[in-house]
Amino acid sequence: MAELCPNSQTDEQIVKKRRISDTNSDDPTSRFPDHVLHLIFSYLKSQDLFTVRLVSKNWHRNTPSYFPLEFEESISFLYTINTPFNVIQEAHNKFLEWIRSSLETCQSELKKAEKRIIRVKFERHENINDLLELINEIDFHEVYLRFGCFNYWIPFIFQSKCLRVVHLTRGGIDKDLFSDETNFVCLEEVELDSVNLSGETLSKFISKCPNIRELKLVNCLLLRSVVLPKVDRLKKLYVQLVGSYPSITDVQVIAPSLQVFHFVHFTRCNVAVNMDIRACRMLREFHLECPTFPVGFDHEHFISDFPHLENLNLGPCQTSKRVKISSPSLRKLTLMFTQLYNYNYSRKSVVSVPNLCSFQYVGRTFKSSLAPSETRKLLKTIGINLIPHVEKINRAWFLQLRSHLTKLNNRIGLALTIFDQGICNEFLISRREDNCCADTQNKCWRHFLKDFKVRELVTNEKEETKEFNFIFTWQL
CB 394 within 8 A of CB 426: yes
Give start-end residues of each CATH 3.30.110 domain in the chain.
382-430+438-476
Q: Give 68-381's CATH code, choosing from 3.80.10, 1.10.3470, 3.10.20, 3.30.460.
A: 3.80.10
* Mean pLDDT calculated for residue range 149-164: 88
Rounded to whole angstroms, the Cα distance separating 80 from 132 reads: 27
Looking at CATH, the fold of the domain delimited by 27-64 is given as Monooxygenase (1.20.1280)
What would the pLDDT profile of 94-151 be if each residue is shown by its tens digit? 999 999 999 999 999 999 998 999 999 999 888 999 999 999 999 999 999 999 888 8
- How confident is residue 20, by pLDDT bands cut at 50, 70 and 90? very low
Residue 6 has pLDDT above 60, yes or no: no
Give start-end residues of each CATH 1.20.1280 domain in the chain.
27-64
Percent of the residues in the chain that have a pLDDT greater than 90, as a whole number: 40
CA 115 distance to own-chain centroid: 25
What would the pLDDT profile of 326-347 be if each residue is shown by its tens digit? 899 999 999 888 876 655 554 4
Give start-end residues of each CATH 3.80.10 domain in the chain.
68-381
Rounded to whole angstroms, the Cα distance separating 172 from 468 reads: 39
What would the pLDDT profile of 368-425 be if each residue is shown by its tens digit? 667 776 655 667 777 888 877 766 676 677 777 777 777 666 667 777 777 666 666 6
pTM above 0.85, yes or no: no
Query: How high does pLDDT run on average in the chain?
Result: 81
Residues near 385 by beta carbon (within 8 Å), at least 6 away in sequence: 360, 361, 362, 363, 414, 415, 416, 417
Taking alpha carbons only, the member of 437, 416, 424 closest to residue 363 is 416
**What is the Cβ-side half-sphere exposure of residue 82, based on CA atoms within 13 angstroms?**
0
Task: Evaluate the omega torsion of the peptide bond into residue 316 and state whether it is cis, within 30 degrees of 0.
Answer: yes
Range with the poorest average pLDDT among 13-17, 167-171, 443-447:
13-17
Does the domain spanning 382-430+438-476 belong to CATH 3.30.110?
yes
Rounded to whole angstroms, the Cα distance separating 452 from 474 reads: 9
* Mean pLDDT calculated for residue range 261-274: 90
Which helix H or strand E contains 19, and what residues bound it? helix 11-26
Rounded to whole angstroms, the Cα distance separating 214 from 261 reads: 10
Residues near 366 by beta carbon (within 8 Å), at least 6 away in sequence: 384, 386, 401, 404, 405
